[in-house]
Amino acid sequence: MNETISFWDAAFLWKEPMAAALLAAALCGYLGVFVVLRRIAFVSAALSQVSGLGIAVAFWVGSFFNVSPHQPSIPLYLEPLTYALLFAALASLLLGVPGHVKRVSPESLVALGYVAAGGLVILVLSSARIAQEAHEVGDLLFGTAVAVKREHLITLAVVAAGVGVLHLFLFKDFMFTSFDPLSARAMGFPVRGLDAALHLSIGISVAVATRAIGALPVFAFLVLPAGAALLHVHRLRLVIVLSLAFALVAAGLGYYLSFIWRLPTGPTMVAVAAVAWLPPLVRALFGKTRL
Amino acid sequence: MSPTALLKLERVEIGFAEALLPPIDLTIEPGDSLGILGPNGAGKSTLLNTLLGLMAPLSGRLSFPSGRRPRIGYVPQAHRPDPAFPLSAFEVVLMGRYPQVGVGRFSTARDKELARGQLDAVGLADESHRHFGSLSGGQRQRVMLARALVADPELLVLDEPTSEMDPAAEHALLSLVSRLGTNRGAAIVFVTHEVSAAAGFARTVALANRTQHYFEVGSPDAMLTHKKLSLLYGRSVGVQREHGHTLVWINGEVSDSEGGSPSTQETP
């Protein structure tokens, strides 16, 4: 990049990545309210790993058909994103199981998903069939907030719209089953179906957002803005608004700062997102409040 | 069998892999008030979950003689709902309307009016907008009771609703349950550790003990006896009735109840 080019002059460079980052931030900032309230923060990390496994498997399967995932047109059944979505959807349903399992802690099942998927990604990528492509898989697995393909941005927009519509109609139901699932079941509410729908919307969002902007910022947007919002306010609507605002500021300002200071984009967005935690942390440090 | 019975258990065995209690025969009718008593791990919650249809019976028959599952209002154990949720007392009560509103539909002005009315009925109209987590334990349980009642329940189920309350708060809540539940003609089923609560508020008492493979249902006078309570708790339990009070003592602790006003006191 030319040293003298200003941020605004370079709009053609960052327009689409910025749009993807803002969209992913809004999506994750909203879903993060459920993720944090349901105490399933690490489910999103596990889902990110599992969707990565889906992409690695797509590479491996493609090698049997002599199809490279980098070529311009790939049949749907070999498209890495198809595999990422399928794997994430399946995992999000399975990770919803802990609430109904008594002998294993929910954290153990999430850790199993995270570690097993992470290990399998390495094993699949070390297969001789795709070894020569492994060095290129990183970006496809975990995306990069600097360079976002238009098709990834479109997919992200479609998923965000779908999740928006789903949550517009089921928000109250998701909140009831998150707050008090036992009572909801006792009162005849279809808790399992609603849990599956919520987990599915989180799983698909994580898979698509990870592909677009990377695993680290997605995980951060799911946990940090909502967590900070909950420390600042106690009204549900305000929590959602504040979480969205924190996430959007982290994405926009993070991208801008990374551009002008030439820092890695994803980690800069994460650092900005973490700033919202500082006031309550400082207040807690001086005994003014409890976290 | 009464044609109006809400729920009927015939030779029902409950548990996960093996039956926890002997086969149970039980009918719950509108206006009934059933207190389920037993020590920790006795199978009380498993019985409750079976009654609610959350667990299938191992054997026997669970039926709804009216042809449909009754509308249920449920008050969970005090520690159950997470107070960290950013919900107001009003928003929690409104959730009681959701089964009637339906999945994917929006609450109406009428639902909100009913929720406000119910908060008023449990004496918390002024706390409507307060954060649920900032309320006291007793207030939170009253909110939960309002949520259960706003569902217009035919069957009101309470799972150890007073387990973390002091005797005064416990008495206040159970009085409220008794008054509001009875006014509506709802059947009330509650699980409790407190013999005094069962003596004061239940018209029928069920004793359950998994270790002894023991289950029996009857009137408070027939169930709350020295012999049966000693069998239930595996230690000597004294029972004495005086001036309408039921005095129960275990290892020096005395529990006193009279017509819906239980309290506890130390033995001199």
Q: Per-residue pLDDT tens for B157-172?
A: 998 887 767 777 777 7
Instruction: Tell me whether residues A173 and B103 touch, CB distance under 8 A.
Output: yes
- Alpha-carbon distance of A277 to A227, in angstroms, equals 8
Instruction: Tell me whether residues A183 and B76 touch, CB distance under 8 A.
Output: yes
Residue range B230-253: mean pLDDT, rounded = 77
> Residue B86: which of A176, A188, A236 has the nearest Cβ?
A236
Q: Which residue has the higher pLDDT, A291 or B222?
A: B222
The interface pTM score, or ipTM, of the predicted complex is 0.84
Instruction: Tell me whether residues A186 and B74 touch, CB distance under 8 A.
Output: yes
Enumerate the domain spans of chain A: 11-285
Tens digit of each residue's pLDDT (9 = 90 or more) over A218-227:
999 999 999 9
pLDDT band at residue B64 using 50, 70 and 90 as cut-offs: very high
Q: Which of A101, A187, A289 to mutate to test the interface with B (most CBs of B within 10 A)?
A: A187
Going from the C-alpha of A247 to that of each of A237, B7, B136, the distances in angstroms are 15, 50, 33
Instruction: Output the DSSP codes for B43-112.
Output: SHHHHHHHHTTSS--SEEEEE-TTSSPPPEEEE--TT-S-TTS--BHHHHHHGGGHHHH-TT-PPPHHHH
Cβ-based neighbours of A19, under 8 Å, separated by 6 or more: A148, A153
Does any CB of chain B come closer than 8 Å to the CB of residue A168? no
pLDDT > 70 in chain A, percent = 88
For residues B49 and B157, is the Cβ–Cβ distance under 8 A?
A: no
Q: Which amino acid type is present at position A52? A: G
Instruction: Tell me whether residues A180 and B76 touch, CB distance under 8 A.
Output: yes
As a whole number of angstroms, the longest Cα–Cα distance in chain A is 65
Q: How far is B186 from chain A (nearest CA, A)?
A: 15
- N- to C-terminal Cα distance for chain B? 48
- Alpha-carbon distance of B139 to B162, in angstroms, equals 11
- Alpha-carbon distance of B219 to B154, in angstroms, equals 22
Q: Which amino acid type is present at position B249? A: W
Place domain A11-285 in its CATH homologous superfamily: ABC transporter involved in vitamin B12 uptake, BtuC (1.10.3470.10)
- Contact list in A for residue B82 (CB cut-off 8 A) is 37, 179
Per-residue confidence (pLDDT) for residue B267, from 0 to 100 = 28
Q: How far is A236 from chain B (nearest CA, A)?
A: 5
From the number of C-beta atoms within 10 Å of its C-beta (0-12, 13-18, 19+), residue B3 rates as exposed
B window 70-109, beta carbon within 8 A of A: 71-76, 80-82, 84-88, 91-92, 95-96, 98-99, 101, 103-107
Does any CB of chain B come closer than 8 Å to the CB of residue A286? no
Tens digit of each residue's pLDDT (9 = 90 or more) over A110-148:
888 889 988 998 888 888 877 766 666 666 565 566 677
pLDDT at A181 over 80: yes
Tens digit of each residue's pLDDT (9 = 90 or more) over B14-28:
998 889 999 999 999
Does any CB of chain A come closer than 8 Å to the CB of residue B52? yes
pTM for the full predicted model:
0.86
What are residue B250's DSSP bridge partners? B237, B253
Q: φ and ψ at B33, to 5 degrees?
A: -140, 105
